[in-house]
A and B are shown apart, each in its own frame.
Chain A
Amino acid sequence: MQLNGAQILLHCLKEQQVDTVFGYPGGAVLPIYDALYDSDIRHILTRHEQGAAHAADGYARATGKVGVCIATSGPGATNLVTGIATAYMDSIPMVCFTGQVGTALIGKDAFQEADITGITLPITKHNYLVEKTEDLYRTIKEAFYIARTNRPGPVVVDLPKDVMERKIEFEPCPQEVNIRGYRVLKGYNSGQVIAAVDLINNAQKPVIYAGGGVIISNAAAELRELSELRKMPVTTTLMGIGSFPSNSYLSLGMLGMHGTRYANYSIGEADLIIAVGARFDDRVTGRIDSFAPHARIIHIDIDAAEIGKNVDIDVPIVGNVKEVLSAINQRLSQVEETSEWHEMIGRWKDEFSLRYGTSSDGRIMPQHIIEKISDITRGEAIITTEVGQNQMWAAQYYKFKHPRTFLTSGGLGTMGYGLPAAIGAKLARPDLPVIDIAGDGSIQMNIQEIGTAVQYKLPVIVCILNNQFLGMVRQWQGLFYGGRYSYTDVSQQPDFVKLAEAYGAVGMRVTDTQEVDNALNEALQVTDRPVIMDFWVDREADVYPMVPPGGSLLNMLGGE
C-alpha cells in the first residue's frame, strides 16, 4: 500500500502498542499532525514541549512502557532537551520524535533548523536522523527496541519534513531487530551468583542497597524475597523508593545525603552491602572513601559500565536484576531468627527516627503535610515531585508501598518535572490519585501545564509547600555560605488560588495546620479538573538529617 512517512510513523506506533503520545505541533511536523488527525492514538497537547517530554517520562515511569513525545524542529526540539536529559539520567525508556527541516535544507541554517541529534548526543541512549522514507520503519523499530531493552533510556528520532511527506510502497514486515553493535543482555555469570550466595550466608551485618534498577526490571517481589529469606534490612536510593515497602520492619528508608540516620549508620557498620540496580551516586555515598568501610560489596546491575565506576566491587554480577535476584534467592535458605544486627538497628531506629520540630512562625510544618497525604491516601497514591526541599520531604515522609508510585527527577534534579509528570502518570493510571508535591519555586517552572490538565479533565493535585523561598538553595546558603541569602527569596509570586481559577482549575489555600486534613480530603473528591493547593508552610523549616556535601555518611547534621 502507498503510505507517506507520517502514516508509516503512525503505523509503527500502533505496532509498538503506543496508545498515548504527548506533543506540540509546528511547521516541520505538520505532516505528522495531519496523519494524527485520522488516528485513534491519543495525542495530549501540552503547553510547552518540555511538558510533553516530562509527561511522556511520567507515563513511562508509571507503566514501564516506552513514553512517546513529539515536537517540531528547532525550538520545539530544543525545548525537549531538559526532559530528555531527565529521562537519560534516570534510565527512563522514551522515544522522542522531532521534526526537522527538509533534507535539502539541512545544514543551510534554514528557518527553525537545529542540529538536535548533535545537541542530544550525550543525553540520549542513541539517536537517529532519518534521511530516507524507506529507512523509517526499521529505524523506529530499532528506536523502541533500544529505548526499552538493557538499561533503558531516551532515543531521539529526527524526522525531516520531506521524509514524512514522501509516499512509498509500504509493506510492513515482521523482521526482528538486528543491530550488530547492540545485543540484549541475557543470562548472568552463575559462578558469581554462587560467590554472592556464599557472602550472604556468611554475613553478620548485611544491608541491601536498592536502586531504581529494581523498579525498572520489575523486581520488587524478588527484592522482598531476598530480604525476607535472610532477614536482611533494605535501604533504597531516591530512585529505589517504592521498590521495598516502607512499612516493613526490614525497611531502613532512604540512605545518603537526606537519608535516615539509621540507614547511613547501617551502611557504616555493615559487613556486606548488596547493591541492586544502583550506581553509587555521590548523593548516596557521601565521601567515597568512607562509604561502607567494613563491608564487602556485591553489585548487581545490567550495565557493566556501572560496576567499579565509583567504588571497588568484590562480587560484580552483570545481568537483569530480576533474573539475578531470583537465581540468588533459589540458593538461599530461610533464616528465622533476628540477630544482634537487628537489635543494633532497632536501637538506632528508636533513637534517630525521622522527626521535625514545631513551627517557628505558626505556619504549617511541611513534613506534616506529607504525613497527612500519606495517611489519607494510605500510601496508595502516585506521588510526583518537583526538586528541592519538597522532593526530599516527600521521599522522607510519604510511606510508599509499591513500585512505580514515586516519580521524581533523581539524577538530573529537574525543577518543573512534577506537574507534567503527574499529567503523564494520571493518564496512565486514572485509577490512582496522583499528587505533585511542589515548591513555590519549582511549580512556576512548568505551571502552564495546569492548562493541559484542565483541558483533559485530569484531577491531578498540586500541593505547593509554599515558603516563598527557593528553600533548598537557601538551606545551603544558611549552612555553608554564612547565611548570605543571595537571590533565594521568591516572595514576589502570583496568587496561586487565583491562578488556578484563571486556568479553570480548583484553587485552595491552606494556612492552618488544623485545616490540612479537610482540605486534602476535599481536593481528593474533585474528579474532573486539577487542584492547586497553596499550603503556607514554615518559612524556616529545613530538610534534616543531612550529610554535608563531600562528608561521611556517619557525620550527619540534625535529626538527633
Chain B
Amino acid sequence: MNKKHTLAVTVENKPGVLTRVTTLFRRRGYNIESLSVGETENPTISRMTIVVAGDEKIIEQVTKQLYKLVDVIKIVDLTEERSVERELILIKVKADNNVRAEIVQIVDIFRARIVDIGRNSLIIEATGDAGKIDAIEDSLKPFGILELVRTGKVAMIRGGRP
C-alpha cells in the first residue's frame, strides 16, 4: 500500500551531497514529496528529512540505494517511530479592515502568529504537523491567499532510543 514515509538521512556536510541524493531519487523513479536539509549539532554532518510515498518494497529499495551513496551515513525511517514532526508555513493573505478580526481569530485558534501587517494583507506564520498546516491553509483560503511557502517537514524521535 502506498503510504508516506519520513526518512531521516544523515549525510556528510559537503558540496554536491544534495545532488547525489536527489539524482538517485530521479534516476530510480521515486518522487520526493518534501525535502529539508540543514546542518546538525556536528558541523561536518547534515540531516535531510525526506518524505517519500511508496509501498514497503519501494521504501526498502530507496533505503538500500541511499545507503550505497558513500556520503550517506545513516537512514532512519521515522514513519513507524514515535516522532515529533513539524513544518513551517508562511501565508500572505488578503486582509482588508472588514476581515482582519476574523483572520486574527483563526490565527489564534491555530496558535499561529501574524508576522507582518501590510495595507491590504497579512503574513501569517504557523508551525505544526502536516495536518495542522493543511488545516490552516484551508481556513485562510476563502480570504484569498496571495502567496504561500512551506518549508517541508523536519522530524525527530521522541525520548531516548530503546
Which residues on A are within 8 Å of B, measured CB to CB? 117-118, 121-122, 125-126, 129, 146, 179-182, 303-305, 308-309
Q: Is the CB of A304 within 8 A of B64?
A: yes
* Docked pose: A158 CA to B60 CA in angstroms: 32
**Cross-chain contact A126 with B67 (CB below 8 angstroms):** no
- The residues of B with any CB-CB pair to A shorter than 8 Å are 11-12, 16, 19-20, 23-24, 27, 57, 60-61, 64-65, 67-73
Q: From known contacts A181-B12, A304-B64, A308-B60, infer whether A121 and B71 are also in contact, taking CB-CB under 8 Å.
A: no
Secondary structure at chain B's binding surface: helix, strand, loop or mixed?
helix
A118 to B15, CA, bound (A): 11
Query: Which of B24, B70, B71, B73 has the most chain A CB atoms inside 10 A of its CB?
Result: B70
Taking A118-B19, A305-B64 as given, write out 6 further A-B residue pairs in contact, using a Cβ cutoff of 8 Å, ordered by the A residue number: A129-B16, A181-B12, A182-B70, A304-B67, A308-B61, A309-B61
Docked pose: A146 CA to B69 CA in angstroms: 11
Residue of A nearest to B60 (CB): A308
A181 and B72 contact, Cβ closer than 8 Å, known pairs A118-B19, A121-B19: yes
**CB-nearest residue of chain B to A146:** B70
Q: Does B57 lie within 8 Å of A181, measured CB to CB?
A: no
Q: How far is the CA of A179 from the CA of B68 in the complex (A)?
A: 13
CB distance from B57 to the nearest CB of A (A): 7
B27 and A122 contacting across the interface, CB-CB below 8 Å = yes
A308 vs B11: C-alpha distance in the bound complex, in angstroms?
A: 25
What are the nearest 3 A-B pairs in CB distance? A305-B64, A126-B70, A181-B73
Q: A125 CA to B69 CA in the complex, in Å?
A: 8
* Pair A121/B23 contact, Cβ less than 8 Å: yes
Partner of B61, one of A121, A179, A305: A305
Chain A residues with CB below 8 A from B72, complex form: 181
Tell me which residues across on chain B come within 8 A of A304, comparing CB atoms: 64, 67
Choose among A126, A180, A309 the residue that contacts B73 (Cβ–Cβ < 8 A). A180
- Would you call A305 and B68 a contact (CB within 8 A)? yes
Knowing A121-B20, A122-B23, A305-B65 are in contact, say whether A181-B60 is a contact too (CB < 8 A): no
Cα–Cα, bound, A129→B19 (Å): 14
B10 to chain A, nearest CB (A): 9
Residue ID in chain A nearest B11 by CB atoms: A181
The distance in angstroms between the C-alpha atoms of A126 and B17, with both chains bound, is 11
- Give every chain B residue within 8 A of A181 (Cβ-Cβ): 11-12, 69-73
| Complex CA distance for A303 and B68, rounded to whole angstroms | 9
Distance in angstroms from B138 CB to nearest chain A CB is 39
Q: Give the chain A neighbours of B67 by CB distance below 8 A.
A: 304-305
Residue of B whose beta carbon sits closest to that of A155:
B70
CB of A91 to closest CB in B, whole Å: 12
Question: Which residue of A is nearest B68, CB measured?
Answer: A305
Question: Can you pick out 24 interface pairs between chain A and chain B where the beta carbons lie within 8 Å of each other?
Answer: A117-B16, A118-B16, A121-B20, A121-B23, A122-B24, A122-B27, A125-B70, A126-B69, A126-B70, A129-B16, A146-B70, A181-B11, A181-B71, A181-B72, A181-B73, A182-B70, A304-B64, A304-B67, A305-B61, A305-B64, A305-B65, A305-B67, A305-B68, A308-B57
- How far apart sit A44 and B71, CA to CA, in the bound complex (Å)? 33
A126 contacts across to B, CB distance below 8 A:
69-70
Distance between A411 CB and nearest chain B CB, rounded to angstroms: 15
Return B37 CB to nearest CB of chain A, in Å: 16
**Which residues of A sit under 8 angstroms from B69, Cβ to Cβ?**
126, 181
Q: Which residues of A contact B57 (CB under 8 A)?
A: 308
Q: How far is the CA of A125 from the CA of B72 in the complex (A)?
A: 13
In the complex, how many angstroms separate the beta carbon of A63 from the nearest chain B beta carbon?
24
With a cutoff of 8 Å between Cβ atoms, the chain B residues found around residue A179 in the complex are: 70
- Output the residue of A180, A181, A303 with the most chain B CB within 10 A: A181
Q: Within the complex, what minimum Cβ distance (angstroms) separates A462 from chain B?
A: 35
**How far apart are the CA atoms of A531 and B133 in the complex, in Å?**
72
Q: How far, in angstroms, from A126 to B27 measured CA to CA in the complex?
A: 15
Give the complex CA separation of A179 and B11 in angstroms.
12
Across-interface contacts of A117 in B (CB, < 8 A): 16
Across-interface contacts of A125 in B (CB, < 8 A): 70
CA distance A180 to B73 in the complex (A): 6
Cα–Cα, bound, A118→B22 (Å): 12
Cα distance A392–B70 when bound, in Å?
A: 35
In Å, the complex CA distance between A308 and B55 comes to 13
B3 CB to nearest A CB, Å: 18
Find chain A residues with CB under 8 A from B27 CB: 122
Closest to B57 in A: A308
Q: Which residues of B contact A308 (CB under 8 A)?
A: 57, 60-61
CA of A182 to CA of B71, assembled, Å: 8
Cα–Cα, bound, A129→B17 (Å): 12
Question: Please, how many angstroms separate the alpha-carbon atoms of A304 and B68 in the complex?
Answer: 9
**A122–B27 alpha-carbon span in the complex (Å):** 8
Give Cα A146 to B71, complex, Å.
12
